[in-house]
Amino acid sequence: MRAAGRVAAGATAVLLLAGCSAATSDAPAATTAEVRTEASCLDPDVLAALGLELDESLRTRAPAPVTRGLPPEEFVAETALVCDRGETLRDSAGRWRAVTATLLEGDLDPLVDLVAGTTTVAACGTGVVAQVWLVDAMGAAVLLPRDAACAGDELAVALADLGVVDRTEHPVALAQPVAGASS
């Protein structure tokens, strides 16, 4: 089971780097992230980074947008939540685009150190890049900068070393309604 989790985490890390290329520049001072009571792959900014928008019928469940950045000094991450484009889901309304939420655990120090020590701005290009939340033991969470997943091979290694705890698909946008069904 643990080996399967490592394989899945490795696959997630590969997806994270799809479309990324490093570009250096003089970066402004890093913003400290807003600490939220929970991480959500349905956050509007996460969805926008994934090229998705939450369906009107699901908006009552959507959290308010969050301020991204580096974790505050006192924040101690216990898990990471990786949000990425998911598989197509089907229900009585039709086919839905989805977001995959993958919860990872293990030694997060290399990931946190990598993100906190980043001195270059990463340019993801046109590819969709998974978004990463850090979550503490009480469920409080910070959303890392939008391009954090483009930090390079070190990030892929840090994520690949983590074990998959849970993976969930969340419907996001109705892509193809069932003929005759009302949306």
Q: What are 166's strand-pairing partners?
A: 103
Q: What is the pLDDT of residues 134-167, one digit of tens each?
A: 999 999 999 988 777 666 677 778 888 999 999 9
Chunked mean pLDDT (size 10), the chain, 183 residues: 41 40 47 88 90 85 76 92 93 94 93 71 63 94 82 76 95 87 52
- pTM for the complete prediction? 0.76
Structure-token pair, residue 163 = 């074990």
Sign for the pseudo-dihedral over CA of 8, 13, 16, 17: negative
The number of angstroms, rounded, from the C-alpha of 72 to the middle of its chain's C-alpha atoms is: 19
Q: What is the pLDDT of residue 155?
A: 75
Structure-token pair, residue 47 = 């969805």
Q: What is the pLDDT of residue 127?
A: 63
Q: What is the pLDDT of residue 24?
A: 40
Q: What is the pLDDT of residue 22?
A: 40
29 contact partners, CB below 8 Å, separation of at least 6: none
Q: What is the pLDDT of residues 83-101, one digit of tens each?
A: 999 989 999 999 999 999 9
H or E, element range at 158: helix 153-160
